[in-house]
Structure 1
Amino acid sequence: MLVSTKEIEVRYAETDQMGVVYHANYLVWMELGRTQIIKDLGFNYAEMEKDGIISPVLDIQASYKKPLHYGEKAIVKTWIEEYDGLRTSYGYEIYTEKDELAVTGFSKHVCVKKETFRPISIKKYYPVWHEAYEKAKKQPAEAY
């Protein structure tokens, strides 16, 4: 399983009145993590969009464990949790620079034609991308 890493410097504008990262910014950081894992696999999401294909979020979840503050670094780890040729679920862990777990989460996506919002088969439209995702995704636990 491929785990991609993206380091982010926490900016002042990303914090709230309490001086901690505002919760919605973690969702933006998850997007940066998705972009990074796609890049690490050798692909470019912007190129897919040029083909008229987009990948909307179907579901997203975040569980907050420890706050991050302005001036600290966040380390976003991203992996492909599930992939079936149509839908993709990404897993996330965001750590402090002291390697403390700050956030866990996941997001689910599907690729659709921008004009119709009808789902497409990644396997059919992007077979090389499909193969890379199959190889990179989290392997199911073996039954005992």
Structure 2
Amino acid sequence: MVEARIRVIYGDTDQMGGVYYANYFRYFEFARGEYFRARGGSYREVEREGLALPVVEATASYKSPARYEDVLLVRARVSEVKRVSLTFTYEIFREGGPDTLLCTGRTVHACVGRDGKPTRLPDMVVRLLHAAP
């Protein structure tokens, strides 16, 4: 698991003052990048191998709104690795207050080659996903 911190900017909020629902997916993406970096790699390395890990499924469950200036703690973990896909799960909390769960989510990623066709996850990616932070 990796914990990433991000501060809510004004542009992330909606007319009601809460974080606009789609922005939680941006926070998930931010945490995924931090996950790779914490393990000594980067998504760019995957791309250099001629591969991509597009999101093929994404879900979020909203529990309580985040607000402007909140510092969010985004926990990301790889919950499943298959032959040609992997799944990340997420939890978002407001930092500095009571441990209030704001949002949970999940993204499923396919491994595809330059031709856009599914391909086996290379060993280097599997090792990177399971490396200790």
TM-score w.r.t. structure 2 length?
Answer: 0.91
Q: Percent identity?
A: 33
What is the rounded CA distance, in whole Å, between the counterparts of 2:127 and 2:48 in structure 1? Answer: 21
Displacement, 1:134? 4.6
47, 50, 54: which one aligns with 1:49: 47
Instruction: List alignment gaps of at least 5 residues for structure 2.
Output: none
Structure 1 residue 102 and structure 2 residue 105: aligned? no
The corresponding residue for 1:93 is 91
What is the rounded CA distance, in whole Å, between the counterparts of 1:51 and 1:135 in structure 2? Answer: 19
91, 103, 123: which one aligns with 1:127: 123
Give the letter aligned to residue 17 of structure 1. Q
Structure 1 residue 9 and structure 2 residue 7: aligned? yes
Instruction: List alignment gaps of at least 5 residues for structure 1.
Output: 137-144
Instruction: Report which stretch shifted further, 43-52 or 92-101.
Output: 43-52
Displacement, 1:90? 0.3
Maintained 8 Å contact 1:4/1:33: yes
Equivalent position SS for 1:53: coil
Equivalent position SS for 2:91: strand
What is the rounded CA distance, in whole Å, between the counterparts of 2:41 and 2:83 in structure 1? Answer: 16
Aligned residues: 130
Give the letter aligned to residue 67 of structure 1. P
Maintained 8 Å contact 1:64/1:104: yes
TM-score w.r.t. structure 1 length?
Answer: 0.84
What is the rounded CA distance, in whole Å, between the counterparts of 1:130 and 1:104 in structure 2? Answer: 24
The list of structure 1 runs, each at least 4 consecutive aligned residues, that deviate by more than 2 angstroms after superposition, is 131-136
Give the letter aligned to residue 119 of structure 2. I
What is the rounded CA distance, in whole Å, between the counterparts of 1:128 and 1:48 in structure 2? Answer: 9
